[in-house]
Amino acid sequence: MDKLSLLIWVPVITMIVMAFVNDSKVKWVGAIGAAVQLVQSVLLLFSFFAAREAGDTSEMLFTTDIVWYKYLNIHYATGVDGVSIALILLTSIIVFTGVFASWEIKDRTKEFFITLYMLATGVFGFFISLDLFTMFLFYELAVIPMYLLIGIWGTGPKEYSAMKLTLMLMGASAFLLVGILGIYFNSAPDGGQLTFNFIEISKIDIPASAQYFFFPLTFIGFGVLGALYPFHTWSPDGHASAPTAVSMLHAGVLMKLGGYGALRIAVMLMPEGAQHYQWIFIILATIGAVYGAFGAIWQKDLKFINAYSSVSHLAFILFAALMFNQVAFEGAVLQMISHGLITALFFALIGMIYSRTKTRNINEMGGLMKVMPVLGVAYFIAGFASLGLPGFSAFVAEMTIFVGAFQNEQMFIRVATILVISSIVITAVYVLRAAGTMLMGAIKNKDFELLPDAHWYDKVAVFVLIAVIAGMGLFPNWLATMIYDGLGPMFERFVVN
Amino acid sequence: MQIDFSYVIWIPAVLLVSFLVVGLFGDKLKPMLSGAIATLAILLGMVLSYTAAFQYFLSKGLVDGTYQTFIPQNWEWLTFYDTLVIKLGVMIDPISIMMLVVVTTISSMVHIYSFGYMKGEKGFERFYAYLSLFSFSMIGLVIATNIFQMYIFWELVGVSSFLLIGFYYTKPSAVAASKKAFIVTRFADFGFLVGILVLSYYTKTFDFQELMSPGNAAITNMTGISFMGMSVLSWALLLIFMGGAGKSAMFPLHIWLPDAMEGPTPVSALIHAATMVVAGVYLVARLFGLYVLHAPDALAIVAGVGAFTSLFAALIAVTQTDIKRVLAFSTMSQIGYMMLALGVSGYVGAEGLGFTASMFHLFTHAMFKALLFLGAGAVIHAVHSNEMGDMGGLRKYLPITHITFLIAALAISGIPPFAGFFSKDEILVAAYASNQLYFWTEWAVAGLTAFYMFRLYFNIFWGTDRDYEHKPHEAPFSMSFALIFLAIMTSIVGFIPFSQYVSPNLVPFTTHIHWNVAIPSIAIGVVGILVAAILYLKPKATADKIANAMPGLYKLSLRKFYIDEIYVWVTHSIIFNSIARPIAWFDKKVVDGSMDGMAWITNKVSDKTKGLQSGQLQQYAFVMIAGVVGLALFILYYLN
């Protein structure tokens, strides 16, 4: 068994074990499975560094290539570089903390965790795939469990939200499938074997006419998942209805599939198409960044605030992916990681607060800092991280995006960059407004005075996430360099083209 | 000879450790122990700063008539490009050493003072953790080797300030004030960041030394590129100045500072009087070579903003009744002086007097303004109120506070031999040499300053006793120790020959007191004091009469020229109600609505068409036959 396939097998085995133990032990199995996966990801990181140290300069490491369906040249092809390793680490951290954040799930625990792990399997599979077809397959595997997770374990208008989310993402998949097939059928312009392997495809030039047609389909297809304005509306409702761990995984990881695909597949395989439509998507991403932030100001529900905040911060990723600049691309990946961690922390905290107060309306809370200092301080830390305070991950990601984007000389892009930067001021407004209303001041509701602070499992989830966010914010260079180098080979070919 | 200043890194390092220890484990330690850890850390920092200062200024710094810049550490923190790298390091030069001395001195005094002031307060250890965080960030800012490091610590001092203003977090006004401070300065920092991006795009560096290196071709290149009537360098420097103006409470970004007085008084002394609020001045001073040599138009704007703010704030200070707010506006006004001094300064030799004066005033102001705030804190501690109306006759009860406060008030009014006289004199000399309008404005502001400071002084310490709930008592030893220490500093630091140490081009020069400027400035100060004495020494109604005689002007000043109201209008009516609310509505109704609409249409279409698949054979047969007949008719018709 190769290193990377283990990343799929561990969650699969965990699911199988879960199916055979009784309900009370399921979450322990989940925790162990997630811990094993986390250790495995860290080991993968070390062996990646060891291989690089040993002078292995191949673009993708630990590759496997098995022909799966030879008539269409579909392979089970896996491999990782600095970019995918970073995202694999992110996913394992979020799955691990997500298990502890769902410790209080009582209803059909077993089914919940199995479905959750199915989602995780899909995400891991997506990040290790080099073959567009299997990648798409894993993508679908990750999206479909969402419907069940929200529809069954959600809150509020959960059927409506689940349906809306699934329909929109399925619609996007249709675009995406056309885009991927378009890439496939143009992958051998000079005749010869067609291929789904995106590393191979990145080495050839897809005819410009095909790029003009298939780029927007692919970019929108991934963009919907990455909350591209105006296709973001599934996300506030979806998050609001989803249970805690699902929100965490969804905003933390699943939405990053969109950014990852938009950058690696849409932009990097079809640079001419990207250049051609750049202006439209830059406008949409800029609107998303500013609009999401303003939208968040007016919300009262904590989950809606965070969902709009995500729309704003995810727009940074798509924005950076359109900059044709290696540093901005690096920033896009850093932002995926950073936003993934921070938003997971937010959703975890919101879930914990909600399970105590039974409300998410900030105006009904107030003075909670006195009652639950640990959760309160953690919420403030999440808020500061989110508004880009130095020392936390978002600062690193945002500054990388801004510095990279600013190297572009076009006035249009400069103006867009400045508008995107302006959104970080608005972020401060809604973050402090929500935290202030909810945590500061006098206790509004007498019933809240006796609420418990964080339990041990809450602390595991919260402390791990804070430690990683701060770690990345304090020592960013190794990660930044790893991602930058990972983007290097493809970027060089892309500039030469 | 290479001098090793590598020990300077221990100053922020120790403070960071103190923050982590007290912040993470403070609730498990005894409050006093937490305070002691933080205080020891900053005292150690003070000792190291003084050592560095003596070593630098008195023996090692000056080589061949020029002060050297030392960079003992500079670590790569985040690499963008080969040359665009954010580094974290230590830079030793005259102004960073001077700032180290200011920050550690005031911070140490505030730490000691707070033992008395914050005694028994809930969150005592949290307070000290925040103080450590602030001191750490502020020191990181002053020793920055590059502009991005400065920006990083700039944000961190902002957040420490936020935490400390909102220290009493159950009090809604404190929460609102902390938010306001953070958001306003954040808005200003947006300009700062864009300025950094513009500057670094052209120069390909963040490093101060490279930016300032003489004959930097990229800088000359920038002055040649024009954008909307100014060179891009001027734009970049103005945007950076916007950040500085926000932190230093320059008009119109000053509105957060008066509200920041909601924080505990020692915090006001440390952050909102002596150190953080002068960061903007320090920033301009740090990049002064660029401003003065390559962007005189940007520097002129700095001067104008400084001069206007100093007058504007002094006019407001005259009517305020909350003693901390009077001091806050006075701080704004004095920082205006510093900005103006930078703005009118030249670069070489005695032309650089403005720069030297600005740094000198920063130094002396830190001492006497911190003293004023700590004195005010002692008064508030004694009478449990911030309002002048609740005070009077306190000189009998608080003798130490009274004398030290008087020294500080004389210093800020520019009366020799106290510190403020010397630095203000230099500023006025520099202004006189540059622009008569600025000189007369600042001369008048000096009079206003003396007037409002002594209005404050007489109202607190003279006049009649109020019905105090209990007899006001002198501050405990920890507090009076800090007062006395700062009073001594205020009395002596004026005699430091600053131009020997601090100058724009690092070459010392000599200057002396210009009596042609000093005499009118002392005179206006004395007049201000006398007017205040006439109006407030004995309780009389004259002051009210004057106020009533010009109600419009009085109200304008009392309500701070309605700038706050304008901001409230902008944030509530425009940003919240005209932007955020419509966007939320638009998102719900239009964007989301159109998606729901698509789903609705699909549903309807399926509703209407689902009859087609009814499963009834007769219906299928009917449709089939009808189709065949229709098709047959169509073909027949078409063929004909």
Q: Residue B444's pLDDT is what?
A: 92
Characterise B95 by phi-psi region: left (phi > 0), alpha (psi -120 to 50), beta (else). Answer: alpha
Q: Determine phi and psi for B454, rounding to 5 degrees.
A: -80, -25
Q: Residue B2's pLDDT is what?
A: 52
The residue written with tokens 């297809």 in the block is A221
Confidence of residue B620 (pLDDT cuts 50, 70, 90): confident
Which tens digit of pLDDT belongs to each residue from B345-367? 888 888 888 999 999 999 999 99
Question: Would an 8 Å CB–CB cutoff place B201 in contact with chain A?
Answer: yes
Return the residue of A nearest to B170 by Cα.
A441
Mean predicted confidence (pLDDT) in A142-154: 88
Across B121-212, the runs of DSSP E, i.e. the strands, are none
Q: Which residues of B touch A232 (CB under 8 A)?
A: 591
Q: Residue B1's pLDDT is what?
A: 43
Token pair listed for A363: 């105006």
Task: Report ipTM (2 d.p.).
Answer: 0.92
- Which one of A298, A365, A484 would you mutate to disrupt binding with B, by most B Cβ within 10 Å of its Cβ? A298
Nearest CA-CA distance, residue A368 and chain B, Å = 10
Return the residue of A nearest to B171 by Cα.
A441
Angle formed at CA A90 by CA A84 and CA A91, multiple of 5 degrees: 90
CB contact under 8 A, A294 and B579: yes
Closest CA to A184 of A203, A198, A170: A198
The Cα A271–Cα A495 span in angstroms is 9
Token pair listed for A14: 């965990």
Question: Would an 8 Å CB–CB cutoff place B227 in contact with chain A?
Answer: no
Question: Would an 8 Å CB–CB cutoff place B601 in contact with chain A?
Answer: no
pLDDT top residue among B94 and A189: B94
**3-state SS class at B64:** coil
CB contact under 8 A, A367 and B170: yes
- What are the respective helix, strand and coil percentages of chain A, to the nearest 5? 80, 5, 20
Token pair listed for A248: 């965490």
Which tens digit of pLDDT belongs to each residue from B134-176? 999 999 999 999 999 999 999 999 999 999 998 988 888 888 8
Q: Which residue type is seen at B342?
A: L
Q: Which residue type is seen at B348?
A: V
Return the residue of A nearest to B154 by Cα.
A390
CB contact under 8 A, B186 and A428: yes
Confidence of residue B95 (pLDDT cuts 50, 70, 90): very high
Which residues, 6+ apart, have CB-to-CB distance to B287 below 8 Å? B147, B208, B211, B212, B237, B240
Which tens digit of pLDDT belongs to each residue from B210-243? 888 887 888 888 888 888 888 899 999 999 999 9
Q: Residue B634's pLDDT is what?
A: 87
How would you label B87-100 residue by residue, b for 16+ Cβ within 10 Å and e otherwise?
bbbbbbbbbbbbbb
Strand partners, B227: B230
CB contact under 8 A, A230 and B591: yes
Question: Would an 8 Å CB–CB cutoff place B568 in contact with chain A?
Answer: no
Among A406, A418, A477, select the one facing B79 at the smallest CB separation.
Answer: A477
The Cα B310–Cα B216 span in angstroms is 35
What DSSP state is assigned to residue B93?
S
**% of chain B at pLDDT higher than 90:** 43
Helix then strand count (H, E) for chain A reads 21, 2
Question: Would an 8 Å CB–CB cutoff place A290 in contact with chain B?
Answer: no
Confidence of residue A491 (pLDDT cuts 50, 70, 90): confident
pLDDT beyond 90 at B544: no
The Cα A295–Cα A312 span in angstroms is 9
Among A295, A369, A425, select the one facing B587 at the smallest CB separation.
Answer: A295
Nearest CA-CA distance, residue A443 and chain B, Å = 8
Q: Determine phi and psi for B146, rounding to 5 degrees.
A: -145, 165
Closest CA to B394 of B407, B406, B379, B404: B379
> How many of the other CB atoms lie within 10 Å of CB of A354?
16
Q: Which residues of B touch A441 (CB under 8 A)?
A: 169-172, 175
Q: Which of residues 475-494 of A touch B (CB under 8 A)?
A: 476-477, 480-481
Q: Is the dihedral of CA A101, A106, A109, A112 positive or negative?
A: negative
Confidence of residue A366 (pLDDT cuts 50, 70, 90): confident
Biggest CA-to-CA distance, chain B: 122
Q: Residue A109's pLDDT is what?
A: 85
Nearest CA-CA distance, residue A111 and chain B, Å = 29
Which tens digit of pLDDT belongs to each residue from B459-517? 888 877 777 777 788 888 888 899 999 999 999 988 888 888 888 888 888 888 888 88
Q: Residue A1's pLDDT is what?
A: 59
Q: Which of residues 180-219 of A touch B (CB under 8 A)?
A: none
Q: Which residues of B touch A168 (CB under 8 A)?
A: 595
Which tens digit of pLDDT belongs to each residue from B282-316? 999 999 989 998 889 999 999 999 999 999 999 99
Which tens digit of pLDDT belongs to each residue from A319-357? 999 988 899 999 999 999 999 999 999 999 999 998 888
CB contact under 8 A, A432 and B179: yes
Which residues, 6+ apart, have CB-to-CB distance to B481 below 8 Å? B112, B113
Nearest CA-CA distance, residue A442 and chain B, Å = 5
Question: Would an 8 Å CB–CB cutoff place B33 in contact with chain A?
Answer: no
Across B117-225, the runs of DSSP E, i.e. the strands, are none
pLDDT beyond 80 at B420: yes
For residues A413 and A279, the answer to whether their CB atoms sit within 8 Å is no
Q: Which residues of B touch A417 (CB under 8 A)?
A: 197
Q: Which residues of B touch A428 (CB under 8 A)?
A: 182-183, 186
Q: Which residues of B touch A237 (CB under 8 A)?
A: 592
Which tens digit of pLDDT belongs to each residue from B556-602? 777 777 777 887 787 777 777 778 788 888 887 888 778 778 878 88
Question: Would an 8 Å CB–CB cutoff place B80 in contact with chain A?
Answer: yes
- Interchain CB contacts (distance < 8 Å): A and B: 114
Q: Residue A241's pLDDT is what?
A: 87
Closest CA to B366 of B425, B417, B412: B412
